[in-house]
Structure 1
């Protein structure tokens, strides 16, 4: 007869910690809000900035030029609209697939921002002139330079994607998983 405790059966006797509640509703609020704000600001930008010189704001800290970007961020992949649209469709699909297991507030916020931003830029690529899957994304915010020579011209969708990505990186650094669990380091 052994006097050592049976850790396997002791662990099995312990009740599992309850899972946090699902956070799909948070994602479902954030993504459409980001999409609406992005599309609304793009409509205003096209309406008020088309054919004009960039508008200077805050003593030159910000400028509002109107640029139609057929590439990715930072001027990469210029003219790859179809491929970038397919990537965005994939991102949207992946986030919708993972959403059913989403139980982390941080991940819901991060994924909601990315989803809304990806959909905002995807709408431009699919529906803006010159035609389906050939449209340029409307960019209209520039920092310290009217034409993006200091930092590339961007829009609210781009900002949401970057902030959402930052939130997800933070969650990874804090070792929090999308399902609400804390990732344990293996010893």
Structure 2
């Protein structure tokens, strides 16, 4: 007698595809998280708050700031809300990763997961207090907010998700195919 699992019913080989996509997501998330945390560690250790260091003069510079809010420092008086939202996003992504059967979806969700985890770590463990921590931002470009590696992962991941949705690319294999 053969075992009947939801993955086996979806399409031949989807269980293996699902495992591969899960690994892709988790590796991308771990790599992005590590890049974010290591870059923030370097910034905290080497760049005084508020000083600008040109990288590409006129186009890109490092400027160490502590952001208590979201993008453009919005909501700086409700830091705990961002902590909760990021935790919910991370749990939702982790819950849905088992359904992913497309490598581009795996990549996109991994980027968002790694970025959200990086900023959540700051919110939880940086000053001024647990769950109210300020995020380390340092990447600066003209006429835009200062951001970090985690933010880049979230934005690129979300843009990729929107492209996948607009092109009707499915995250999972429909049943019966």
TM range (shorter): 0.7 to 0.9
Which of 81, 84, 87 is the matching residue for 1:83?
81
Residue 69 (1) aligns with residue 67 (2): yes
Separation in structure 2 between the aligned mates of residue 138 and residue 17 of structure 1, nearest angstrom:
45
Give the aligned partner of residue 166 of structure 2: 173
**CA shift in 2, pair 1:88/1:51, >3 Å:** closer
Which of 35, 42, 45 is the matching residue for 2:43?
45
SS in structure 1 of the partner of residue 57 of structure 2: helix
Decide which structure has greater helix share: 2
Question: How far is 1:74 from its partner?
Answer: 2.4
Question: How far is 1:81 from its partner?
Answer: 1.3
Residue 164 (1) aligns with residue 162 (2): no
Separation in structure 2 between the aligned mates of residue 139 and residue 79 of structure 1, nearest angstrom:
18
Q: How does 1:28-177 map to 2 (within 5 A)?
A: 28-51=26-49, 53-144=51-142, 150-177=143-170
Question: How far is 1:57 from its partner?
Answer: 1.6
Question: How far is 1:17 from its partner?
Answer: 4.9
**CA shift in 2, pair 1:18/1:44, >3 Å:** same
TM-score scaled by structure 2?
A: 0.86
Separation in structure 1 between the aligned mates of residue 10 and residue 119 of structure 2, nearest angstrom:
42
- 5+ residue gaps, structure 1, are 1-14, 145-149, 182-187
Deviation string for 1:96-118 (max 9, x for gaps)?
10011111111100000000000
Residue 18 (1) aligns with residue 12 (2): yes
SS in structure 2 of the partner of residue 57 of structure 1: strand
Question: How far is 1:158 from its partner?
Answer: 0.2
Question: How far is 1:75 from its partner?
Answer: 2.4
Counterpart contact for 2:51–2:63, Cα < 8 Å: yes
